[in-house]
Structure 1
Amino acid sequence: MSVEPPTLERDDVHVVDDDRYTGDSVALVTGAASGIGRATAVALAVNGLTVAALDVDADGLGETSAKATDLEAPGEVRPVEADLTDDDEVIAAVEAAADLGDLRFVANIAGIQHVAPLEEFPMDVYDTMQDVMVRAPVLVSKHALPLIRDAGGGAVGNMASVHGHYVTSDKVAYNVAKFALRGLTQSIAAEGDGDVRSFSVSTGYVKTPLVVDQIPDTAAERDITEREVVEDVMLGQARATELMDPVDVANLFVLGFSKLASHLNGSDLTFDDGMTLTYE
């Protein structure tokens, strides 16, 4: 079983016929330098949107933009380098996205991980994780909402997780953040007044650098092999034998932002291979 991030091909991207999916409409995607963020930025560009691709990793953003070009995406990926732990840079990034056209969509995807028991969890790491995965999405949404309304409406999508429904051990900061993102999603829906929808996306484990990188740490924490981490920890409760691909998640954002999801508001797209609602 391979856990390496797969190659993204154009045929993997779901294309939706939506009159707002044009170059005049802008989607801001955080964490766009790799993994789900990169796949989402590229998928939205393939659907014709102008994408403000936000990340602190300039080289990774360049690769994301190049990938969209390689796939001959009708939309453009425009790199926006920013540090999500810096309020001024976050606000400037939202403004930069709005300068590209009508800011209609926001995908809060950026995430980081640290594996350690609660009693040993370093609080500086905890604070950074909350800044990136909770404070930044709140701040982005705060400044994006009036711009989305001015553009005629749109949606905010937040990358949650099955860890926003139930938790696993040794990931307290991640668990707390993902529950918080579901709260943010519902708050936006409550205050969106029909002009701004919101939704969250909750998946099981996806073939991303974040997931691949945590396998050795999880194996060490649990004193098991890396193979056992994938088969027993990551897929042990799922009704699947393979991890999801990043583009599978990207397609959920394509759907969630589109007119096909016009009644999706405050809810969660749970694509988890049965992890949360089935048992043996």
Structure 2
Amino acid sequence: MSVEEALATYGPSEITRADVLEVEDPNYRPGNVALVTGAAGGIGRATALCLAGNGLTVAGVDVDEEGLAEARDRADDLDLPGRIEPVPADLTDEAAIERAVEEAAKLGDLRYLANIAGLQTIAPIAEFPVEKYDLMHDVMQRAPLLLTKAAWPHFEETGAGVVGNMCSVHGHIVTKEKVAYNTVKFGLRGLTQSIAAEGEGSIRGFSVSTGYVKTELVAKQLPDSADSRGLTVDETVEQVMLGHTRVKEMMEPYEVGNLFVQGFSKHASHLNGGDMTHDGGMSLTYE
């Protein structure tokens, strides 16, 4: 199966208004701002659209300016009650992170932060490229801390704030050849709990842990992953990715975005330091 065929079969569906979970919350209005990283594509883009679909102004942060513009245009095409404002930024640059938070705060009251941007490198520990580990750590663990640090005064000024961190089933259980990914995802759960410990109830933190999601990044990796195992792409999905789950299909990005909608809302006021595990039973059951 070619990359194009894998994308057609296992890539994400285009999000529609009907896909967006709409939650009644008086704080879900255009005057309140959610900063979403990785907003140019994948789960970040879907989360940005789902939050805009609930009336929030979304500061979409990514290095991919073209992708951010496409996300903004999609929100406009769907005639969402909120909007996406592109905020290009390099999450490996501390000054750029601070500027992104300040730009988000200029759009309204900054109340929500979704740390979603991520990347992957697959290699055994003995051969793992340290520069890739450093990059993954900078984007997926250091940046969420710096973003939280920069947003904290704005949360205090607003009177409340919520940080949602995109974790993973690999923040609970690990698989081989993903040492950097496993490490940073476990670290994100520590950050989440630290936010809860210091937020005194007015600033909450939660994480979201899913199994495999139908993103372009995952779909594009499937042919190489299948070849390395001597399997077809379909066999790789069925045996490797979904072999240990009870739900035998991957999640759509908008389904993950809807978890952030729920987690940020007033209906999740007691979700503080905890993890929203939606992995199809992968980490919680066995045969």
Q: Same fold (TM over 0.5)?
A: yes
| 2:98 match | 91
Taking the TM superposition and a 5 Å limit, the aligned residue runs for 1:1-280 are: 2-280=9-287
Once the two structures are TM-superposed, the CA of residue 251 in structure 1 deviates from its matched residue by: 0.3
CA distance in 1, matches of 2:178, 2:224: 11
1:98 alignment partner AA: A
Structure 2 distance, partners of 1:171, 1:228, is 21
Report SS of the residue matched to 1:94.
helix
Aligned counterparts of 2:224 and 2:137: Cα–Cα separation in 1: 20
Aligned-residue Cα RMSD (Å) equals 1.1
Q: Which moved more, 1:46-55 or 1:140-149?
A: 140-149
Q: Which stretch of the first structure deviates more once superposed, 256-265 or 114-123?
A: 114-123
1:220 Cα offset (Å): 4.1
Distance between the aligned counterparts of 2:208 and 2:278, measured in 1? 8
Q: Deviations for 1:193-223, whole angstroms, at most 9, x for unmatched residues?
A: 1110010000000001221133234334434
Sequence identity percentage? 60
Preserved contact between residue 115 and residue 217 of structure 1 (Cα < 8 Å):
no
SS at match of 2:175: coil
Task: Deviation per CA, 1:165-187: give whole Å up to 9, x if none.
Answer: 00011111111110010010001
3-state SS in 1 of match to 2:235: helix
Q: CA deviation at 1:115?
A: 1.2
Compute the displacement of 1:4 (Å).
1.3
SS of equivalent residue, structure 2 residue 213: coil
1:15-53 CA-partner distances (Å, limit 9, x unpaired): 011000011100000000001000000110010000000
**Counterpart Cα distance in 2 of 1:228 and 1:176:** 28
After superposing the two structures, state which structure 1 stretch, 234-243 or 253-262, moved more.
234-243
Give the Cα–Cα distance (whole angstroms) in 1 for the partners of residues 125 and 222 of structure 2: 18
CA distance, structure 2, for counterparts of residue 172 and residue 218 of structure 1: 17
- The one-letter code sitting in structure 2 at the alignment partner of 1:131 is D
CA deviation vs aligned residue, 1:219-265 (integer Å, no higher than 9, x gap): 34434332222111110111122110000000000000000001110
Q: Secondary structure at 2:61's aligned position in 1?
A: strand
Which stretch shows the higher mean deviation, 217-226 or 184-193?
217-226
For 2:232 and 2:140, locate their aligned partners in 1 and report how far apart those are by CA, in whole Å. Answer: 29
Structure 2: how far apart are the matches of 1:27 and 1:217? Answer: 36
User: Structure 2: how far apart are the matches of 1:173 and 1:209?
Assistant: 21
Q: Distance in 2 between matches of 1:197 and 1:153?
A: 8
Contact map agreement 1:116 1:221 (CA 8 A) in 2: no
CA distance in 1, matches of 2:183, 2:230: 25
Which 5+ residue runs of structure 1 have no aligned equivalent? Answer: none
Structure 1 window deviating more from structure 2 (211-220 vs 186-195): it is 211-220
Supply the distance in 1 between the matched residues of 2:122 and 2:234 (Cα, whole angstroms): 17
SS in 2 for 1:53: strand
Question: What is the letter of the counterpart of residue 46 of structure 2?
Answer: A
The letter of the residue matching 2:72 is S
Normalised TM-score (structure 1) = 0.98
Count of matched residue positions in the alignment of Structure 1 and Structure 2 = 280
